[in-house]
Chain A
Amino acid sequence: MHNYTIAELVKGLQSKKFSSVELTQHFLSRINRFNGQYNAVITVTADQALQAAYLADQRLAFGSAPALCGVPLLHKDIFCTKGVRTSCGSKMLDNFIPPYNATVVENFEQAGVVMLGKTNMDEFAMGSSNETSFYGPVKNPWATDCVPGGSSGGSAAAVAARLAPGATATDTGGSIRQPAALCGISGLKPTYGRVSRWGMVAFASSLDQAGPMARTAEDCALLLNCMASFDDKDSTCVDLEIPDYSASLNKPVKGLRIGVPKEYFSEGLHPGTEEAVRKALADLEAQGAELVEISLPNSNLSVPAYYVIAPAEASANLSRFDGVKYGYRCENPKDLQDMYCRTRSEGFGEEVQRRILIGTYCLSAGYYDAYYGKAQQVRQLIEQDFVQAFAKVDLIVGPTCPSPAFKFGSKGDDPVAMYLEDIYTIATNLAGLPGMSVPCGMVEGKPVGLQIIGNYFDEARMLNVAHQFQQVTDWHRLMPEGIS
């Protein structure tokens, strides 16, 4: 059952080939048996899941259930789940049980989706390797001595290891696309404002966006149909008609103009990755798409701009974790200052502290203009690059990340090397554009991701192209060794 796609599970549930309870039991037992190898899931909500599955079966029996009713999913532990610990991968929130659901969680719950549990992640979504989690690193199912990517590494590894047919994730600088690429699955970061951020623990508010992870583009479309909603609780949510993302999957790609940014094939790109991506581009061309070389001249500025803006916003967003109201508080503080200092020094990990310090510095009197002000100007330049590119092409396609999954600890001493992992993904967050990653090859036994960047709110076209690509390739069907 775990080799079915979500689309196939939906059919099976609706035709009563199996029940949601059976399905849920099957995935719970897989998590139980195999999660120890990957550390992808950090909270399992078995009782709650079975109860939800039972109710889903009843709704299915009535015959008018929503499409995803009865499908089991995992949620990244960044989404608040009512009554279920939401740690955000941090000691700071190890004891935090929200009294409310994130809108994303609520949307799935309303649709009868069964939550199996919560997935591991980099602490407060800050990381590209899942090594910053308080709950220990997640292992890549394709090579357990390698990282799964981050920050949504738990969700990506869980889907790759068939512990769940799909999972929710979030992307601030590549946190959906990079782990999807490294784990050989499909993942989509929607346009900023397409999915509500309510109840999603904030990292960098102007960049954070939630999206789905699954094995196929078709499944991502099904999940996005449910995830996307207008929500007046999130002022940055955009009230724009939400199309049926499944409806246009089968449109032919013939005649589509695909932009290939030359800056994405430069120094630092692994030759194996480049070869796989070039092959994928050729496949798309063979299907009738027109490849157009384009330039995104300010690409090299995206990483530095991001590492000013994201930490600046994070430094304020994480101020609420002060030991006063919820979450971790140090033992026996001797006064207020001591409580603040020790709570935050003991509750936050090293990378989170590093980013709070960077952000605080960038916003300080006398430095604001040189850092935050300048970074915002760069952000506009990057946005302009894309606006000009999309005047000429329908989509932009390139690698998701420079190389396949790397070994644990290999970038641990050099934060900048780690930050460069996101060199191809960060620009879309700065511009607010949607981007996705689909598997397009293998290098050294590890998956390579193809990144598809769309124009604003053009997720349907991205999914269409990704789906068409998956009609002529088998990369998304490959299974890591040792998974039965």
Chain B
Amino acid sequence: MNWETVIGLEVHVQLATKTKIFSAASTSFGAEPNTQACAIDLAMPGTLPALNEQAVHYAIMFGLAINAEIGKISIFERKNYFYPDLPKGYQTTQLEKPIVGRGEVAIQLADGSTKSIRIHHAHLEEDAGKSIHEGDLPHGSSGVDLNRAGTPLIEIVSEPDMRNIEEAVAFAKKLHSIVTSIGICDGKMSQGSMRFDVNVSVRPMGSTTLGTRTETKNLNSYKFMEEAIEKEVERQIDLIEDGGTVKQETRLYNGETKVSKAMRSKEEANDYRYFPCPDLLPVIVSDDTIEKLRRALPELPDARQARFVEQYALSKYDAGILSSDANTANFFESVAANASHPKMAANWTMGELSAALNHADLSITESPVSAELLAGMILRIADNSISGKMAKQVFEAMWQGEGNADEIIEAKGLKQVSDNAALEKMVSDVLEVNPAMVEDFIASDENKRKKKLGGFMGQIMKASRGQANPQQVNQILLQKLNELL
């Protein structure tokens, strides 16, 4: 039988506020355990939450970005359960009245088509802390780090509109692109800034009723998400084809061991006993606030892609890659503005720079080669001062912090020779000292001659220590050899 996969996503996005959703403690990542948790985050007796207005604004901005209804009155509720990293014994979240209602997100697929994924709602909530089971702890005990406790999140809940892994990943990436473009999330997946819960079910192709779903929680990379969905789809199909049934349950996928396992069944699920939080008033958002935020909303990825095609004559594909991440898009535009060669700016940003950043595990905002430096180098390629090959050397040196392109070209003596007379002499010299090669060339047929040209080019470039302008050399060489035929 043919099976159809049905996927829905719940995405937790950490909001890039400076302070926590209900306290003034810092949200920055990587501090010593429990140094960024104040009395409120520790749920000390008598402490009370005070809502961070910026977090509310960020959630509204997300709602506006996906054309959603904005909840003019939203209500925080308490979700009760015991866990050591949940200091109050309840999570303050939203249920009945979330801040963001129905909306939709358009995704682009590899075949060029687009698809709309419906968003059920998005709500504001606080993150929990982290339990620590390894490290410098007394035998048999676990630790708790509450630095993350109280970090503002929006949880975005999609409808089960995705039908395969490609769509799920495209949707996840699109959300990443949207939240980073409007500046409400730093997008750092490795730091947990975006985490995915995937709801997966399968059904016979053509069926219109949904199968029983499982939820695999807390995946923090696209790769793990892909793997987890693939494994789960396989597991469910095998199970059904062997005559079994899928149980509704929560599962965990371990990206290291590639093993997924059931965490708890529906019957074992917590009764969270939600009720409105009496310490917080309903959040009332005025039309005026919504309009102000709408007007200030930064350019969205789709609009940016279209503009890149229009303004810089990039291909839709390239424009899509560059616009998918706000920082990359900003970097590219800055290079393009300084170098006035958008195509080259795009190629270098997506090519050499992106590869180097990946290799060094840096984000584009941490790039040792600034947009200005890269633009300076592109100007030298454009005016033929250096060849593309030399540019790679210059780029490498800029990466190492050796200065700007002009300084490096000067210091390394990399200047390209484009003087016609000098190049003609170089070509003549090489032909003169290699009579056998010349004979061989003349004796060969048309097709082989093309290959043999490379031999001469190599000799000439070597003689010029790589500084000869290759296009010009190629031209002169062809001309001189043709004269000999």
Q: Are B275 and A340 in contact (CB under 8 A)?
A: no
Q: How far is the CB of B378 from chain A (nearest CB, A)?
A: 52
| Complex CA distance for A96 and B45, rounded to whole angstroms | 9
Select B45's contact among A98, A236, A364, A372, beta carbons within 8 Å. A98
Whether B278 lies near A313 (C-beta < 8 A) is yes
Establish whether residues A363 and B80, one from each chain, have CB atoms under 8 Å apart when the complex forms: yes
B280 within 8 A of A: yes
Interface check A71, CB cutoff 8 A: no
Q: Which residues of B contact A313 (CB under 8 A)?
A: 275, 278
Asked if A199 is at the interface of the complex by the 8 Å CB criterion, the answer is yes
Cβ of B48 and Cβ of A234 under 8 Å apart?
Answer: yes
B46 touches A98 (CB 8 A): yes
Q: Judge whether A18 is part of the interface by a CB distance below 8 angstroms.
A: no
What is the count of residue pairs linking A and B with beta-carbon distances less than 8 angstroms? 99
A contact residues around B44 at 8 Å (CB): 80, 98-100, 325-326
| In the complex, A5 has a CB within 8 A of chain B | no
| Contact stretch, chosen from A35-43, A59-67, A201-209, A401-409 | A201-209
Q: Are the C-beta atoms of A205 and B275 separated by less than 8 Å? A: no
A278–chain B nearest beta-carbon distance, Å: 38
B-chain residues with CB within 8 Å of residue A200 when the two chains form the complex: 46
Partner of A202, one of B39, B46, B82, B273: B46
Q: 1/0 per position for A83-102, CB-CB distance to B under 8 A?
A: 00010100001001011101
Contact B48 A198 (CB under 8 A): yes
In the bound complex, do residue A325 and residue B45 qualify as a contact, i.e. CB atoms below 8 Å apart? no
* Chain B 69-91 interface residues, beta-carbon cutoff 8 Å to A: 78, 80, 82, 84, 87-90
List B229-276 residues whose CB lies under 8 Å from chain A.
Answer: 271, 273-275
Tell me whether A232 and B50 are in contact in the complex, defined as CB-CB below 8 angstroms, given that A313-B278, A319-B82 are known contacts: yes
**Residues in chain A near residue B82, CB distance under 8 A:** 319, 322, 340
- Interface presence of B47 (CB below 8 A): yes
A324 within 8 A of B: yes
A-side contacts of B279, CB under 8 Å: 202, 205, 235-236
Q: Do the beta carbons of B87 and A233 come within 8 Å of each other?
A: no
- Give chain A's interface residues, CB within 8 Å of chain B: 79-80, 86, 88, 93, 96, 98-100, 102, 197-202, 204-206, 232-236, 312-313, 315-316, 318-320, 322, 324-326, 336, 340, 360, 363-365, 368, 372
Partner of B48, one of A197, A324, A364, A365: A197
* Chain B hits for A232, CB < 8 A: 50
Given contacts A197-B48, A233-B50, A236-B281, 14 further A-B contacts (CB under 8 A): A79-B46, A80-B45, A88-B45, A96-B45, A99-B44, A100-B39, A204-B278, A205-B279, A235-B49, A316-B78, A319-B89, A320-B45, A325-B44, A325-B87
Question: Separation in Å of the A415 CB from the closest CB of chain B?
Answer: 22
B275 touches A324 (CB 8 A): no
- Which residues of B, 267-304, contact A by the 8 Å Cβ criterion? 271, 273-275, 278-281
In whole angstroms, what is the CA distance A85 to B271 when docked?
A: 35
Across the interface, B144 reaches (CB within 8 A) one of A233, A324, A364, namely: A324
Q: Can you name the residue of chain A whose Cβ is closest to the Cβ of B79?
A: A316
Pick the 4 closest A-B CB pairs, nearest first: A319-B89, A363-B273, A206-B278, A205-B278
CB of B44, distance to nearest CB on chain A (Å)? 7
Partner of B42, one of A88, A199, A315, A325: A325
Of the residues B88, B89, B280, contact of A235 by C-beta under 8 Å: B280
Chain B: how many interface residues by the 8 Å CB criterion?
28
Q: Is the interface of B mostly helix, strand, loop or mixed?
A: loop
Given known A-B contacts A319-B82, A363-B273, A198 and B47 have beta carbons under 8 A apart? yes
Chain A residues lying within 8 Å of B42, measured Cβ to Cβ, are: 325-326
Say how far A434's CB is from chain B's closest CB, in angstroms: 19
With A319-B88, A324-B84, A364-B271: A198-B43 Cβ-Cβ less than 8 Å: no
Contact of B89 among A80, A98, A320, A363 (CB under 8 A): A320
Tell me the complex Cα distance, A217–B51, Å. Answer: 37
Which residue on A lies nearest to B76, using beta carbons?
Answer: A235
Most buried by A among B47, B49, B88, B275: B275
Q: How far is the CA of A324 from the CA of B87 in the complex (A)?
A: 8
In whole angstroms, how far apart are the Cα atoms of A312 and B87 in the complex? 19
> Given the complex of chains A and B, what is the CA–CA distance between A156 and B408 in angstroms?
84
Q: How far is the CA of A242 from the CA of B279 in the complex (A)?
A: 22
**Chain B nearest CB, measured from A194 CB (Å):** 16
* B36 to A: closest C-beta gap in Å: 15
Cα-based distance from A364 to B80 in the complex (angstroms) = 10
Q: Considering only CB atoms, which chain A residue lies closest to B51 in the complex? A: A235
Chain B residues with CB below 8 A from A234, complex form:
48
A103 CB, min distance to chain B CBs, angstroms: 9
Q: List 25 A-B contacts (CB under 8 A).
A: A80-B45, A96-B45, A98-B44, A198-B48, A199-B46, A199-B47, A201-B45, A205-B279, A234-B48, A235-B49, A236-B281, A313-B278, A315-B80, A316-B80, A316-B88, A318-B89, A319-B90, A320-B88, A322-B82, A325-B144, A326-B44, A340-B82, A364-B273, A368-B273, A372-B275
Q: Which residues of B contact A315 (CB under 8 A)?
A: 80, 273
By CB atoms of chain A within 10 A, which of B39, B80, B279, B281 has the most? B279
Asked if A316 and B281 sit within 8 Å, CB to CB, the answer is no
* A198 contacts B46, C-beta separation under 8 Å: yes
Closest beta carbon of chain B to A464's beta carbon, Å:
31
Interface residues in B89-123 (C-beta closer than 8 Å to A):
89-90
B45 in contact with A86 (CB, 8 Å)? yes
Across-interface contacts of A99 in B (CB, < 8 A): 39, 44
Contacts A316-B275, A320-B88, A364-B271 known; A235 to B281 CB distance under 8 Å?
yes
B52 to chain A, nearest CB (A): 12
CA distance A399 to B101 in the complex (A): 50
Query: In the complex, what residue of chain A is closest to B146 when comparing beta carbons?
Result: A325
Least CB distance, B42 to chain A, in whole angstroms = 6
Nearest CB in chain A: distance from B23 CB, A: 10
In the bound assembly, the distance between CA atoms of A234 and B330 in angstroms comes to 41
User: Nearest chain-A residue to B40 (Cβ)?
Assistant: A233
- Name the CB-closest residue of A to B43: A320
Residue of A nearest to B144 (CB): A324
In the bound assembly, the distance between CA atoms of A200 and B44 in angstroms comes to 11
Task: For the complex, give the distance between the alpha carbons of A206 and B278 in Å.
Answer: 5
**CA–CA, A368 to B78, complex, Å?**
14
